[in-house]
Amino acid sequence: MSVTEPQGFRAAGVAAGLKTGDRRDVALVVNDGPDHHAAAVFTSNRVEAAPVTWSRQVVVDRRVDAVVLNSGGANACTGAQGFQDTHATAEAVATALEISAGDVVVCSTGLIGELLPMDKILNGVTAATNQLSAQGGPTAAEAIMTTDTVAKQALVQGDGWQVGGMAKGAGMLAPALATMLVVVTTDAVVDPEELDRVLRTATAQTFDRIDSDGCQSTNDTVLLLASGASGVTADPQALTEAVTTCCAQLARQLIADAEGAKHDIAIEIRSAATESDALEVARSIARNNLFKCAVFGNDPNWGRVLSAVGTTAAAFDPQTLDVSINGVEVCRSGGVGEDRSLVDLTQREVQVTVDLHAGDVTVTVWTNDLTHDYVHENSAYSS
Amino acid sequence: MSVTEPQGFRAAGVAAGLKTGDRRDVALVVNDGPDHHAAAVFTSNRVEAAPVTWSRQVVVDRRVDAVVLNSGGANACTGAQGFQDTHATAEAVATALEISAGDVVVCSTGLIGELLPMDKILNGVTAATNQLSAQGGPTAAEAIMTTDTVAKQALVQGDGWQVGGMAKGAGMLAPALATMLVVVTTDAVVDPEELDRVLRTATAQTFDRIDSDGCQSTNDTVLLLASGASGVTADPQALTEAVTTCCAQLARQLIADAEGAKHDIAIEIRSAATESDALEVARSIARNNLFKCAVFGNDPNWGRVLSAVGTTAAAFDPQTLDVSINGVEVCRSGGVGEDRSLVDLTQREVQVTVDLHAGDVTVTVWTNDLTHDYVHENSAYSS
């Protein structure tokens, strides 16, 4: 159940003093090969953190030997000094492991706009190097947590190979990635172009379909590393499915641990004309604060759903919209349907289904409710 | 300070039992002429309420004799019956005033997805007709309140003519209009085409530049009525300025009374390449829940501002962005600027200035913070 379950990987997570209370905050994942193939997707936020700028260049040649990750500071909006700090971190890893700094991905997460305490980071890199082990995956997953309350890991079995993963993220979760660091490993034998295709297919169906609060981060990174250590060449379709399943499990864990959330909400859009229509409608609901507050209050206020749908450009006729909440069709043909008092919202998981009657595409986006705890957590985040 | 201050208008607001506790909930505003010119803008939400569908047709000929407004029910997503109810309301007003139903605008606000209690509405129309007076503006302003805590009114003096206005709205406030009903009156002499141009210019600069929670309503209506009763022909530019000032005052009152808000936030975008760039950037900040929570917590977390700016397609270089909060330049050239602890956020009004260094357009959008009270109010709204 971790990034070190697939063969060919070692990892460690150590406490370097970036976070308070002796919690782990620096993680290292190393691919011992024989292959060192990698694929990555990064935030689409144009204000990107120094480690994202660095790592984009690292993965251009599709070779990654190690990834170093820290919580306790995002190293975003930190100018030239921030980039030098990322570079110095990669160099420290490279020196310790006798590899090239150009093959070291760097990921950071935490508060934006403050320089990292580099003495602590570099001590952390040394400590993590010394503790690397094939059982180290869980400690690495722990070290990347910020406001997360649990570590997120996943494991999928292939035919002679495995896919393991870890992720962090609890707020600032939105399509086009979020404050989210994800490392997925596999020991399958797969060529790097195929690996890139696999990762893009998987993230489009998983991380790009969760939307906690509509806020996109400066630091998002999803990295897929392939060691080839199993010696088994993976069928591309099977590998795509395994990586997608691994990413879906991690994405679901992110929503389940979203800041302050009391409900996990699956928004299913049925009978859309196109996938982009379905996603636009789903996201307009997922980002509607009034809807999210209503779910928090166990209130099946379907008017909030319809008014969100009405703001989109998707193909539909307002007179034929149907909306069900937890199986009760509260809105039928754009008007009043079954009695809303029949809806039970006391369970954590909520299913909202909107039928657009405009085509044959179905898409599900996961989100969560908007709660007092979200407001509390984010009104006290940096102070 | 009301819609009946300009000459030629009578109004009334009565309690018809739509809201609990004997509060006023049906309002009537009548234009006694000699002119009956009108201009209107409506919600861009494709799921529009029955009264919006009706009123769009009423204003096509640019003549409006009366407007009837109710709180306590939006009459949205109510199907054919809802439209018949709106029609019946207009007919009742027409019969009582001996005018044509086709010259009666209808506005509703309240919960979506429930039919109006038509017996109460029709009794309310009768009572309001009987109480019409040239001093009735303030009672009408009171009757359209929902979660508003204060009535919103405004008055602007022209050269021999006046502009008066009333508005309601406390949540679901976003560009392209919001849960917002606004009636603006003037006794200036002005031709109907000019009146339409005046209203569109004014709303684009005022109501379209407030964004409380990014949620667009199904019922928004802004109506401008001209009686010509002053006998003074208004200079078009002067009338545009007066109507814009009246709308700006009402818009500012809406934000000041936004649900649960503890801070009113002016987001000023400077040196944008185009107005649409400036508005896109301003709205991305205004709708960012993390930013809004931070302001609630008196936390000048400027990283939230930059990450919101980074999600837009506007012209800017991330390396040259400057951000000031209440006069303290916390972000300079995309990096750390003055000490964030210098920012004092204890006052209600907050000024956030973002300099894009990309052109010469400046735009201000008003929003508010995201608070426990917003979550509380909207998690218990319909239940």
Write the pLDDT tens digit of every residue in A265-287.
Answer: 999 999 999 999 999 999 889 88
A41-57 pLDDT tens trace: 887 777 788 999 999 99
A146 is in an annotated binding site: yes
Tell me whether residues A303 and B371 touch, CB distance under 8 A.
no
| CA proximity to B374, closest of A292, A128, A34, A90 | A292
A346 is in an annotated binding site: no
Rounded-to-integer distance, Cα B67 and Cα B54, Å: 12
Q: Which of B289, B306, B371 sits opposite A112 (nearest CB)?
A: B306
Residue B175 has pLDDT above 50, yes or no: no
Neighboring chain A residues of B370 at a CB cutoff of 8 Å: 289, 375
Rounded-to-integer distance, Cα B117 and Cα B268, Å: 44
Rounded-to-integer distance, Cα A168 and Cα A219, Å: 12
> Under a CB-based contact definition with an 8 Å cutoff, are residues A306 and A291 in contact?
no
The residue to which tokens 């000094």 are assigned: A81
The alpha carbon torsion through B186, B188, B193, B197 (nearest 10 deg) reads -60
Q: What are the catalytic residues of A?
A: 179
Which of A289, A301, A331 is the best mutation test for B, with the most CBs of B within 10 A?
A289
Residue A100 has pLDDT above 80, yes or no: yes
Residue B284 has pLDDT above 50, yes or no: yes
Tell me, letter by letter, the H, E, C secondary structure of chain A: CCCCCCCCEEEEEECCCCCCCCCCCEEEEEECCCCCEEEEEECCCCCCCHHHHHHHHHHHHCECCEEEEECCECCCCCHHHHHHHHHHHHHHHHHHHCCCHHHEEEEEECCCCCCCCHHHHHHHHHHHHHHCECCCHHHHHHHCCCCCCCCEEEEEECCCCEEEEEEECCCCCCCCCCCCEEEEEECCECCHHHHHHHHHHHHHHCHHHECCCCCCCCCCEEEEEECCCCCCECCHHHHHHHHHHHHHHHHHHHHHCCCCCCCEEEEEEEEECCHHHHHHHHHHHHCCHHHHHHHHCCCCCHHHHHHHHCCCCCCCCHHHCEEEECCEEEEECCEECCCHHHCCCCCCEEEEEEECCCCCEEEEEEEECCCHHHHHHHHCCCC
> Under a CB-based contact definition with an 8 Å cutoff, are residues A213 and A172 in contact?
yes
Q: Which residues contact B151 (CB under 8 A, 6 or more apart)?
A: B138, B141, B142, B145, B166, B168
- Three-state DSSP class for B269? strand
Residue B176 has pLDDT above 50, yes or no: no
Q: Which residues does residue A69 pair with via DSSP β-bridges, in sequence order?
A: A27, A107
- Joined together, the tokens standing for residue B307 give 């990450």
Rounded-to-integer distance, Cα B252 and Cα B289, Å: 21
Which of B374, B375, B381 is the best mutation test for A, with the most CBs of A within 10 A?
B375
B123-159 pLDDT tens trace: 999 999 999 999 999 999 999 988 788 888 888 898 8
ipTM score assigned to the predicted complex: 0.70
Between B328 and B251, residue with greater pLDDT: B328
Tell me whether residues B297 and A114 touch, CB distance under 8 A.
no
Tell me whether residues B303 and A372 touch, CB distance under 8 A.
no
Tell me whether residues A214 and B381 touch, CB distance under 8 A.
no
Residue A215: what pLDDT? 63
- Three-state DSSP class for B177? coil
Q: Count residue pairs from A and B with Cβ separation < 8 A.
A: 230
Tell me whether residues A336 and B78 touch, CB distance under 8 A.
yes
B37: DSSP letter: E
Rounded-to-integer distance, Cα B122 and Cα B16, Å: 9
A259 is in an annotated binding site: yes
- Domain boundary assignment for chain A: 9-256, 264-379
Rounded-to-integer distance, Cα A376 and Cα A215, Å: 17
Between A102 and A369, residue with greater pLDDT: A102
| CA proximity to A143, closest of A119, A109, A176, A97 | A109
- Length of chain B equals 383
Tell me whether residues B112 and A306 touch, CB distance under 8 A.
yes
Q: How far is A244 from chain B (nearest CA, A)?
A: 26
- Joined together, the tokens standing for residue B98 give 């001996």
| CA proximity to A27, closest of A171, A98, A133 | A133
Residue A358 has pLDDT above 50, yes or no: yes
- Joined together, the tokens standing for residue A87 give 């570079």
Tell me whether residues A309 and B47 touch, CB distance under 8 A.
yes
Q: How far is B196 from chain A (nearest CA, A)?
A: 24
A383 is in an annotated binding site: yes
Q: Which residues contact B301 (CB under 8 A, 6 or more apart)?
A: A112, A381, A382, B290, B291, B294, B340
Mean pLDDT, range A317-325, rounded to an integer:
91
Q: Which percentage of chain A shows pLDDT scores above 90?
A: 47
Residue A383: what pLDDT? 44
Residue A334 has pLDDT above 60, yes or no: yes
CA angle A64, A68, A69 (to 5 degrees): 130
Which of A48, A53, A77 is the best mutation test for B, with the most CBs of B within 10 A?
A77
Rounded-to-integer distance, Cα B286 and Cα B305, Å: 9
| B86 tagged catalytic | no
A179 is in an annotated binding site: yes
Tell which CATH architecture fits domain B264-379.
Roll (3.10)
Q: Which of A45, A293, A334 sits opposite B77 (nearest CB)?
A: A334
A264-379 has the same fold as A9-256: no
Rounded-to-integer distance, Cα A247 and Cα A199, Å: 9
A206 is in an annotated binding site: no
Residue A107 has pLDDT above 80, yes or no: yes
Alpha-carbon distances of A51 from A12, A75, A107, rounded to whole Å: 20, 7, 6
Binding site residues of B for substrate, as ranges? Answer: 146, 168, 179, 259, 378, 383
Tell me whether residues B298 and A217 touch, CB distance under 8 A.
no
Mean pLDDT, range B269-279, rounded to an integer:
94
A150-164 pLDDT tens trace: 888 888 898 899 988
Rounded-to-integer distance, Cα B79 and Cα B149, Å: 31
Confidence band (pLDDT; 50, 70, 90) for B381?
Answer: low
B9-42 pLDDT tens trace: 999 999 999 988 889 999 999 999 999 998 888 8
Domain A9-256 in CATH 3.60.70.12? The answer is yes
Q: Which of A44, A111, A307 sits opposite B303 (nearest CB)?
A: A111
Give the Cβ contact number of residue A127 at 10 Å.
16
- Burial status of residue B52 (CB atoms within 10 A of its CB: 0-12, 13-18, 19 or more): buried
β-pair type (A349-355, A264-272): parallel
